[in-house]
Chains A and B, each alone.
Chain A
């Protein structure tokens, strides 16, 4: 093995680290403006249209584990390579607190398997401190981002309906698919207790938007990657078209360790370890764009120590890693007796919910700040590992014609009949809410641990507060209200204070943001309002790290819009020769 750092010959205008939503968008916009781009990805190449990667339209029996999640965190057919734990790439936790970190090492990153829920942040979401006095305002407003949301809608495609709700701004929508049967029941029941249910907003092409991508053929498997590019992933919708124009060089298996700087503290390139030969390489560029994910970007910046940046690059404030926050999340499920013995037909639909509940209440009348949205699931989905489990407790929910319950457990024909009768009767709901960013929730460099590439790893410290606990309690009250209104058999116990009211552990919702937040004051933020580092003007961050607060929405659409906005700014700065 060579111990010398090898230098890639080519000098680039821009080096982008990470090929997910933020990095893919930057690669597309910057390269189309004529800039030469090096795109570095820590995992392998991936294209769902190629047979060797295809998991879409596979049957469960094609997997020897029938789709179980023993190898991939979200099951054998999920598109994401990586997971909560990656061999040789650990992270640690501090003071008995918990944070779980999902990483996907592949072209397109986590956009390959996400739920495609594509919600704009609303005017309130950028100015939460003005609303409730907690946390901080963003240095930008909805009006600054709106033109970019509009462009993202048209470039990528999102279905939805115009509803005119102030903090759930409408966009350029494709028509939504009609609700499924259980969704009609949910809509009726929730509406009757004054909880709104509207068409969901997912980046799935119910109609064609260009010649390159086809439209959805309703297999409900967006998380497996789409062969016809009928949904959004960074690899298919951004990186691939960007590369076809010839200005982007993709480096796969490139694990970036640090940004290197010149004597004036300006970024001049990055060092990465090639995972295939374990050698170190240097890529030089006039500007560096970090899009490695909120936490991985914080890690790279903290590891980028130099004489000029002794505390990590652009970190004299010490803010990098702080204000890490994830969405809140908790779930409940039930069984709809009216759906026992239901007629069979194909109701796969699009990948995920056709309807959802946006936040509908006024926090001034509640004992917690910030809202949540509700996602619904159920229906006659494709059986996968786990189907048919639990008949030792569930059979008794079925009654015969005289009202006598089936016995739990058992075997034989009676068991088979009952499994068939129950198929498609289960429903569930998941609340996804906004937490309050805290300085004391953070990731930092672990002083004792490196990964297999010799790079110091992250150590997490994260605790929920009463704000999130009370919000989760409210979610469960709402779930029971909806399930009761549905006439559902509610499964399991309502979680209480001993489990933080069922709150998922921090990180589990995979909406973590805020580690390199933007702001006008360099003492309390890492980036300016264009996501440009306060102390290194040719360094930018276009992942969720720049978020001041994560709304009760999913972050991807905002990452895409902000990355486009920052890319336009970079192009402008190049033109003005400021960088």
Chain B
């Protein structure tokens, strides 16, 4: 009796979380952090009326003042002189923004002038709290989806028989449903100017990440239904590449990208950047099973997986502009890899015992999904972190740096897979294609990141 109780408890917790999210529709006031290389401004809020600002500058700066302009309306607010609290830290209080809308905040530190784009709401920061909670629910949903898929695959290989209502199926459909319901709960209340950055759809201002997540989850469930029809015609052969299987894998990747987008919008907070690294790690994991089969003697699995790895790593570099967070991506990939290594075989043995369906005679007990993941990715992340730091210091154009980095990631993955004999019958062509596609994916990752940075409130 313990199992159903645990399962029901987990479901209830998740549903309560989504419901709580749905009712968290009141936007809140939160501080806004704006940063350039050596000048950081912390505003208590991006609103009209009196605003308190804290400015961090290099210690040798003697004077700091702030003023704001609204180029569209030709407004300019009087300059507010900041008081020096200690070397490198200044504070100012004043009316910086006369009305809501897009402003340019200028900080004058001695002779240096730094400008920031900022969107001013009605005394309200533009990213509603439900998007913050929603992002973490998306990540939770994707975790359940990914580990559920791993468990289901392990079950088929090590045990075999199933019905629609098995625990692994429930786990991954639950993950997808949580992503879908969270997206609805975030998109439905998003109306009007306080909704934050969003895509206008049917009268809503849908935050892009949640629009993509919702479509991905809907696609997942829809293709799940198609898959069920497919199985009534062709039987339940699991090893075949079918349109519905490929579509389910693609829909999972769409959801992974959506989680990355959701955390790109939260990149101003440390927790948001950790979430981004975790989302990226799951995305790289999912990418390793996105495609099946071979073409021209080249493994499409390796081709797709390395392209996703290069895109994700360069996207995280582009969103955070920091080598440190690229390394964090590698670190969290190790965690996701470990979970994928240990959970599916463990859960399969446990479930097999608890429903009395013994393991196959030839059960491998080997975590198959974890074996498909690129073991070498953390190394690529360390290389990527160093490359970002190097390119920044030397002022190498990010487009060039990311193309080279993407190519290196592709080459690293293809060499490691070559050792496992997984690249197909034409290793030379595979190495060439994977490296070239890695370069394209890396550059594309950076460009995508430049757009994803706009999902954060201050660049709306």
Question: A and B from one assembly?
Answer: no
B contact residues vs A (CB 8 Å cutoff):
none
A contact residues vs B (CB 8 Å cutoff):
none
